[in-house]
Amino acid sequence: MITYNPLLCLDFYKTCHAEQYPKGLTKMVSYYTPRMSRLSDTDKVTLFGLQAFIQEYLIEAFNDHFFNVPFDSVLKEYTRVLGATIRTKGVGEKRLRELHDLGYLPLQIRAVPEGTRTNIKVPQIEISNTHPNFVWLVNTIETMLSCTMWHTQVSAEVGYRYRKIVNEYAERTCDDSVVRARLLGDFSMRGQESVESATKSAAAFCLSFLNTATVPAILWLEHNYNCDCSKEPVACGALSTEHSVMCSNFAVDGDEVTQILIDKDIIIKAAKETGKIVTVEEHSIIGGLGSAVCDVLCENYPVPVTKIGVMDTFGHSGPAAALLEEFGLCADNIANTVKKVLGK
């Protein structure tokens, strides 16, 4: 969400277009059209995010940082920024004042219903001016619209494609009691570059699935799409633990103490019986199960320990089975490592 005059939320080159339109032009109609796909097997794209754009930018941002701000302050900021950076007056004081005095954006926006998948090169949104003096405004907001919309649309389309795959395999392997919309989850806040991006991406993913770990996505959908998670299934999370919880507990005599939850007795017993230990974990060998076992044995019954896990290297992305193979966490490597330890 922007915190400044939205008429400054655009590309520099657009600031001079108001003076370039033909004199006497009273109507402008522009179309938002997905022009191409970089994926050879994709010929459609999902429209999603328009209502949120209208609410957050065309209503809230314009009200908070333009219409409800004294005009002198609006003009001062506008002319200062453009005068110092591109040496232009932009749309000019007259047009700014006329819009400010009008008190609303004289625009009509028509679009296909949100959630609709349309072919590439088919217009999804039409924008036109409803007042003859504001031809310049139609394409002034295009930068904000394009920048805001593309991310949610990409995430919505990705979610759709995943749901299609899930449905196919669910039909083969699950009965009707399994809710297809719960078979895949979203962790956008673990992979996006900002909270806002993660929120919108997760919300778009929720067009196809109910599961998400991104709490703000629920609030964003409620704010912009008139839903209520307490009354209808908008999206939901899942209870789970994590490394810090599983490896520690707290509160010993009122003092905060970290304790490793590991069965020392069984480790020492195994060391005494075998003389060698092999640990296997789907985790880095540093600071994980292997390290915890080594700590126990160093203090109580030292024996050689061989750790199988992710070595001290950068992580990779890919199919789960391929990654297990890559990091030696497959059955063959585990068996071969154990045989080597045993001298067989």
Does 36 or 65 have the greater pLDDT score?
Answer: 65
Burial 10-22 (b: 16+ CB within 10 A, else e): beeebbebbeeee
Q: How many domains does the chain have?
A: 3
| Mean pLDDT, residues 268-291 taken together | 90
Distance CA 82, CA 16 (A): 10
Q: Do 231 and 277 fall into the same domain?
A: no
Shared domain for 266 and 331, answered yes or no, is yes
Domain hosting residue 289, numbered range = 261-341
Does the residue 289 lie in any domain? yes
Q: Give tens-digit pLDDT for 46-72.
A: 999 999 999 999 999 999 999 999 999
Determine the pLDDT at residue 22.
Answer: 95
* Weakest-pLDDT range from 9-18, 161-170, 311-320: 311-320
166 domain-assigned: no
- Mark whether 93 and 228 lie in a shared domain: no
Residue 275's nearest CA partner among 296, 257, 249, 302 is 302
Is 115 within the bounds of a domain?
Answer: yes
| Residue 114 and residue 34 share a domain | yes
Are 92 and 207 members of one domain? no
Residues 275 and 331 in one domain: yes
104 with 192, same domain?
Answer: no
Amino acid at 144: M
**What's the pLDDT score for residue 254?**
47
Q: Are residues 126 and 60 in the same domain?
A: yes
For the chain, what is the radius of gyration of the CA atoms?
29
Average pLDDT, the chain: 90
Q: Residues 143, 34: one domain?
A: yes
Q: What is the domain-level CATH number for residue 40?
A: 3.20.140.10
d(CA 200, CA 159): 13
* Within-domain flag for 164: no
Q: What span, in angstroms and rounded, lies between the C-alpha atoms of 266 and 259?
A: 17
What is the DSSP secondary-structure string of 61-83?
IHIIIIITS-HHHHHHHHHHHHH
**pLDDT higher than 90, residue 84:** yes
In a domain, 34, yes or no: yes
- What does the block give as tokens for 61? 């941002």
Those residues with Cβ within 8 angstroms of residue 151's Cβ, 6 or more apart along the chain or in another chain: 49, 197, 200, 201, 204
Burial of 341 per CB tally in 10 Å (0-12, 13-18, 19+): middle
Which domain CATH number covers 293? 3.40.50.920
Report the greatest alpha carbon distance in the chain: 95
Do 112 and 208 belong together in one domain? no
pLDDT above 80 for 316: no
Q: Is residue 52 domain-resident?
A: yes
pLDDT(103) > 90: yes
User: How many beta carbons lie within 10 A of that of residue 323, not counting itself?
Assistant: 16
Assess if residue 251 is contained within a domain: no
pLDDT for 262: 82
Helix (H, G, I), strand (E, B) or coil at 232: coil
Q: What is the pLDDT of residues 153-192, one digit of tens each?
A: 999 999 999 999 999 999 988 888 888 988 888 899 988 8
Q: What is the pTM of this model?
A: 0.74
Question: Is residue 246 one of the residues assigned to a domain?
Answer: no
pLDDT score at 176: 85
Residue 134 tokens read as 């504001």
Q: Does one domain contain both 270 and 234?
A: no
Based on the domain organization, do 19 and 132 belong to the same domain? yes
Give the Cα separation of 167 and 169 in Å (integer): 6
CA dihedral (146, 149, 155, 159) positive or negative? negative
Name the domain boundary from 240, 269, 292: 240
Please report, to the nearest 10 degrees, the dihedral formed by the alpha carbons of residues 328, 329, 335, 341 taken in order.
Answer: 70
